[in-house]
């Protein structure tokens, strides 16, 4: 079972439908026991870092996710879910994320429209099974105002340029994050979801 963590915001059903198009069983849940039982975990999210992080803490979900990661369950963070993989965000510095990746989350610089909304390319800077069958420079759909700054350079698997070059795909061990929305990114996004489910 693939658990799509219900963070309480955004069109989470579209991600479950994207998995269904791939013939994969995704279950939208905030039940800690179902999260523990899952073979794969997807943490989506839109909105404010603090509100979502605090809500996940209050419902006891973040500790369960940390426990699952420690046990070796693969986890994919999407958009805000990617930011939650880190400990802190400049958006809400007082709130605590999952902290399974080291680094920080910063706001996109001025000089262009923020948030970034629309299609942009991903440059593959390190090989990863996540990119299997996806050409370098493929387009994905972005909606975001913040971006991650991993502490370790080897965490960065792909980058995107929007005012600056930033990490748009990250990964360490069985933990991955993407800044774009794969469920809205046509064939390349669906392939990435399929790769995540099949990579371990």
Domains (ranges, CATH) in the chain? 2-198 (3.40.50.880)
**Strand positions, DSSP E, the chain:** 2-5, 26-29, 40-43, 75-78, 103-107, 116-121, 123-124, 139-144, 146-150, 156-161, 165-172, 175-178
| pLDDT at site 46 | 83
Q: Is residue 106's pLDDT more than 70?
A: yes
pLDDT digits (tens, 9 = 90+) for 133-168: 999 999 999 999 999 999 999 999 999 999 999 999
| pLDDT at site 194 | 96
3-class secondary structure, 193: helix
Catalytic residue selected from 7, 83, 144, 181: 181
| pLDDT at site 37 | 94
Q: Is residue 79 flagged as an active site residue?
A: yes
Q: Is residue 144 flagged as an active site residue?
A: no
Note whether 103 and 85 are within 8 A (CB).
Answer: no
Q: How confident is the model at residue 199 (pLDDT cuts 50, 70, 90)?
A: confident
Task: Return d(Cα 31, Cα 5) in angstroms, integer.
Answer: 9
- Strands 123-124 and 75-78: what pairing? unpaired
| pLDDT at site 200 | 60
Catalytic residue selected from 7, 79, 91, 144: 79
Indicate the average pLDDT of the chain: 94
Q: How confident is the model at residue 89 (pLDDT cuts 50, 70, 90)?
A: very high
Q: Is residue 8's pLDDT more than 80?
A: no
Q: How confident is the model at residue 11 (pLDDT cuts 50, 70, 90)?
A: low
Mean pLDDT of 107-129: 95
Q: Is residue 181 flagged as an active site residue?
A: yes
Catalytic residue selected from 7, 83, 144, 183: 183
| pLDDT at site 12 | 76
| pLDDT at site 13 | 80
Q: Which helix (H) or strand (E) covers residue 53, if one does?
A: helix 49-58
| pLDDT at site 103 | 97
């Amino acid at each position: 079972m693939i658990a799509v963590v219900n963070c309480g915001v955004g069109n989470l059903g579209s991600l479950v439908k994207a998995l269904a198009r791939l013939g994969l069983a995704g279950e939208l849940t905030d039940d800690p026991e179902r999260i523990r039982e899952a073979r794969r975990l997807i943490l989506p999210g839109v909105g404010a870092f603090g509100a979502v992080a605090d809500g996940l803490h209050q419902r006891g979900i973040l500790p369960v996710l940390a426990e699952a990661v420690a046990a070796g369950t693969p986890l994919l963070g999407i958009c805000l879910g990617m930011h939650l993989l880190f400990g802190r965000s400049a958006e809400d510095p007082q709130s605590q994320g999952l902290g399974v990746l080291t680094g920080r989350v910063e706001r996109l610089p001025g000089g262009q429209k923020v948030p970034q909304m629309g299609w942009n390319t991903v440059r593959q800077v390190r090989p990863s099974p996540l990119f299997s069958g996806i050409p370098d420079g493929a387009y994905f759909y972005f909606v975001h105002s913040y971006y991650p700054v991993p502490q370790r350079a080897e965490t960065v698997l792909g980058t995107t340029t929007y005012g600056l070059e930033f990490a748009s795909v990250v990964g360490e061990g069985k933990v991955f994050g993407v800044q774009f929305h794969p469920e809205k990114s046509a064939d390349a996004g669906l392939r990435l979801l399929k790769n995540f489910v099949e990579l371990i």
